[in-house]
Amino acid sequence: MTNQMQPVSGNTKRVTPHPSHPDRDQATQQRFASKILALSGILQSTLEINELLALFAKEIRQFIKYDGLTYRFPSLKIDIKLGDQPVNNCAYELVVAGDHLGDLNFFRHYPFENSELETIENLLAGLLYPLRNTLLYQRAVESATMDPLTGVRNRAAMDSSMKREIGLALRHNTPLSVILMDIDHFKLINDQHGHLYGDQALKAAAQCAEQSIRESDMIFRYGGEEFLILLTGTDLKGAELLAERIRQNVENLAPQTDKAIRMTVSLGVTALGPSDDINTLFQRMDNALYRAKDAGRNRIVIDTAVK
């Protein structure tokens, strides 16, 4: 646990279910148990991680004043920030039955008192089991929407995400762009080196592209050796710059495996127009990629024929 402007690292307190406080009288223990039970019941109303943390943040304000909180669970790429993060803080590692459930920090403009820290620690016990259930749900959802070979999202996830984001962009008049990436001469890699090396090349290209984009961008395996990158809040110029960064990064990858396989990619780029739907957007994206391959590969082509 950290407090009074000390660094978070090295002073994090571990919180497990139902902490024991032998010095507390029976009436106080019952009062805390009642609060924890009520909080846990409220939090069990959702399995969405953002909604769960927002609900927890709202409920705990009834007992403790604070300015903001953060929650991180890196293995699921969860990084939630609510409110401000001034220098005074208390940090907790959340654990159930030996399972790490993430790290939660509370922030305030003035130091937390010991009695407040004790209250926080008790109330956190009401978060642990709803949080564990939510993380199990998130893992199940991720497993169903991930391509097992490349580790990026699969076609089913792409279809639902595209429909949702296109609808939001048209409704709110915000930019949205897409990039379709194809590994050049991939059939030749498979034919010359075998499918094992082809799979490794696919994974390397996907991971390279994923590392080249922002956290808010999404990459999907579109099919075979093609990958779609969805850029919300990004106009055509921004998408062009990102596509060129991906092209260069893949071209500069170290040779894949002992076969010294080097790769290049072709990319087609376009942006959503006010009269577009998912079909017209995909058609322009496909056309741009075809032109990039037809022009010699290892290049990007921008389709500016916005509807």
Question: 24-40: buried (b, 16+ CB within 10 Å) or exposed (e) per residue?
Answer: eeeeeeeebeebbeebb
Other CB atoms within 10 Å distance of the CB of residue 106: 27
Residue 14 amino acid letter: R
In degrees, to the nearest 5, what angle opens at C-alpha 217 toward C-alphas 216 and 220? 135
Annotated catalytic residue: which of 116, 225, 226, 240? 225
Q: How far apart are CA 77 and CA 97, in angstroms?
A: 22
Beta-bridge mates of residue 94: 15
Whether the CB-CB separation of 253 and 263 falls below 8 Å is answered with: yes
DSSP string, 199-215: HHHHHHHHHHHHHHS-T
Task: Match 């082809």 to its residue by tokens.
Answer: 198
Pairing of strands 265-271, 176-183: antiparallel
At residue 128, the 3 state secondary structure works out as helix
What token pair was written down for 297?
Answer: 């590969």
Active site residue 225: yes
The amino acid that residue 279 corresponds to is: N
Q: List, by residue number, the catalytic residues.
A: 225
